[in-house]
Structure 1
Amino acid sequence: MAAIIQGDKTMFHPIRSILVAVLAMAGLAAPPARADINVGVTLSLTGPAASLGMPAKRAIDLLPKEVAGQKLNFILLDDTSDPSVSVRNFRRLVDEHKVDVVMGSSVTPSTIALVDIAAETKVPLMSLAASARIVEPQDEKRRWALKAIQNENLRPVAQDFIKRYEAAYGPNSASIFSANVWDAGLVLRAAIPAALGKGKPGTEAFRTALRDALESTSGVVTTQGVTTMSRTDHVGYDKRAAVLVQIQNGVWKYLK
């Protein structure tokens, strides 16, 4: 029976005890509370690559903060354009902030340095750098690395992104570096619902399910093309991502 404290006396109330027991059993039967999805981000906000990192940071601020009814928390760290700091950031995001996925970094050296740690910690890495070496050749380590970056393409999705970005930061402020973040967000949002059915955010089961869902995304339209990933292709773009452009009067023009 549950004890009831009244002044300096302890009494036992049988009805209260039954209510407490029933509530406890109900709590055990109820579904577990949904945990937030923590998304780590390491970008070059200072140092030589800051001109790439700052537009990406602004795009992070525009990403939706909820997917499939699940809250997304973005934790952003500056790697100062230094691969060693990028590595420390990844570990800090995993150890301190318990992230389920990491986006970054802004340049290839700082991103390649993260591939081994992503595999070691079993936390998916969504590259914002362009080098094929980050995801190729596919092996057990690179299976944890994916990227949604290809050639720029002015599709409806791209037009929507440019409209949002320039509304927030001014005319002609959008760039490929901010688009890379937006595209990573599009692919991540497409993968999260499938992963939620196989594990709770914050657990290794969820992170593994998220990796599997990311490499199973199909027909995701980004600002740069249409991506369909697989176990052996962690980029996923086909020939629709290739376009011809010309510089006319100092401005890029797409050739149809």
Structure 2
Amino acid sequence: MRAGGNSTAGFNGLKRFKEFRKLVVVGLLALSAQAGFAQTAHVKIGLVLSLTGPAASLGIPARDTVALLPKEMGGRPVDYIVLDDASDTTQAVQTTKKLISEDHVDAIIGSSITPNSLAMIDVVADGETPMISLASSSKIIEPVDAKRHWVFKTPQTDAMMASAIAEHASNHGVKTMAYIGQADALGETFYVEVLKFAQLHKITMVANERFNRTDASVTGQVLKILAAKPDAVVVGAAGTPAALPPKTLRERGFKGVIYHNHGTGNRDFLRVCGADCNGTFLPASPVLVASQLPDDHPAKHLGLEYIKLYEGKYGAGSVSAFGSYAWDAGMLLNRALPIAMQAGAPGTPEFRRALRDALENTKNFPDSNGLVNMTPNDHIGLDQRARVIAEIENGKWIYQPR
């Protein structure tokens, strides 16, 4: 009896041991598979760009720049998902929601324009996904509140560019100034900054007009401006629609100084504006005049590197500021991503939070527009060297030291 009982117990024990060993092996295989997946998980970066509509000339160079961005970051393959917001705020919001909820991206680059970028802020904050805007307004990142905690940008702010205009105008004897801008967030916020810096330089604003991106004429607005007899006119607009005011001003005989917003830093704008833009000025990204900059300028080396890559693929003279903003966004993510992977694998909330933190802690990082030093209250990190004044002459940008 005793021997038989011992035999049964031994058999059952051996059976349980084999089952336990099987479970252990299955568990180890599962853990190994999970570890392997974590090691090979792709980084997903979504881009919301204005590829059609009035702002297409801004979004297309950014899209074309994607082909130049790193295919791997931190040893992980990178998937770039490029979607068109059609220059429309509603489409920008819907596209951003799709990238976060369906594609589960780790970061978003975009939009190309201010109204769309502002509309995207709530979505990326709710989705706790870092976003790097390619638009100009400082309102996209200021003040850094609970929602803008997730938002960064690479283009110079409208305040930086407005100050450059006011300095140049003051140095060249301008006493009175008029403004004509888009009837949207870009036009409104840029006007506020232009007015502020004009007043600081004792320049009087004598007229303030608006137009829509899709307008075919601004004759009425220009006639009101001419009646005020300003020394200079600032055009607060972006892309090819920004060519309409200067062309109309010249057609109506305006002989004063014309300044553009930095949203005109591309070849399509030069083509559309043509000879009417000769002798006009814009506060520009250093990349537009990189070869003309002093050798000690912090943006010169990487600006020339970007130009070489972009024009090597798309042809001489094809480069624009808007492509460089996308390039800089990619470089910022390339720097931040290996740091973020110490906290979690791509595709996880931990990784996205760590990626946001790594972006905010970027220090002494050179890119094609300057030297980046971000802080919890500064989500662009560029200083005044990141903007220059350029004169347009025969389809070229000419660097103006003062």
Fold similarity call, TM over 0.5: yes
TM-score of the superposition, structure 1-length normalised? 0.88
TM-score of the superposition, structure 2-length normalised? 0.57
- Indicate yes or no: 2:251 matched with 1:118: no
Alignment correspondent of 1:186: 331
| Structure with more of its chain in helix, by fraction | 2
- Counterpart of 1:229 in structure 2: which amino acid? M
Contact 1:245-1:255 at 8 Å conserved across structures: yes
Match of 2:26 among 24, 28, 31: 24
* Alignment size in residue pairs: 244
CA apart distance, 1:114: 0.4
Match of 2:285 among 148, 152, 155: 152
- Counterpart of 2:285 in structure 1: which amino acid? E
- Counterpart of 1:50 in structure 2: which amino acid? A
Match of 1:216 among 361, 366, 386: 361
Match of 2:55 among 20, 34, 49: 49
Contact 1:216-1:229 at 8 Å conserved across structures: yes
Tell me: CA distance 1:43–1:242, structure 2 relative to 1, closer, same or farther (3 Å): closer
- Counterparts of 1:191 and 1:20, CA distance in 2: 42
Alignment correspondent of 1:142: 148
- Counterparts of 1:53 and 1:29, CA distance in 2: 43
Structure 1 SS opposite 2:376? coil
Match of 1:177 among 311, 322, 331: 322
Match of 1:62 among 64, 68, 77: 68
Q: Please, which runs of 5 or more residues in structure 2 have no aligned partner?
A: 1-14, 157-283, 291-299
- Indicate yes or no: 2:95 matched with 1:89: yes
Structural RMSD (CA): 2.2
- Counterparts of 2:57 and 2:394, CA distance in 1: 24
CA apart distance, 1:23: 4.0
Deviations 1:59-102 (A, max 9, x none): 11221110110111111111111100000000000111010111
Alignment correspondent of 2:46: 40
Deviations 1:163-221 (A, max 9, x none): 11111111111101111100111111111111010011111111111111111111111
Alignment correspondent of 1:162: 307
- Counterparts of 2:388 and 2:318, CA distance in 1: 22
Query: Taking every aligned residue pair, what percent have the same amino acid on both sides?
Result: 41
- Counterpart of 1:95 in structure 2: which amino acid? S
Tell me: CA distance 1:74–1:250, structure 2 relative to 1, closer, same or farther (3 Å): closer
Contact 1:186-1:220 at 8 Å conserved across structures: no
Structure 1 SS opposite 2:29? helix
Tell me: CA distance 1:36–1:250, structure 2 relative to 1, closer, same or farther (3 Å): closer
- Counterparts of 2:124 and 2:395, CA distance in 1: 41
CA apart distance, 1:21: 5.2
Contact 1:118-1:144 at 8 Å conserved across structures: yes
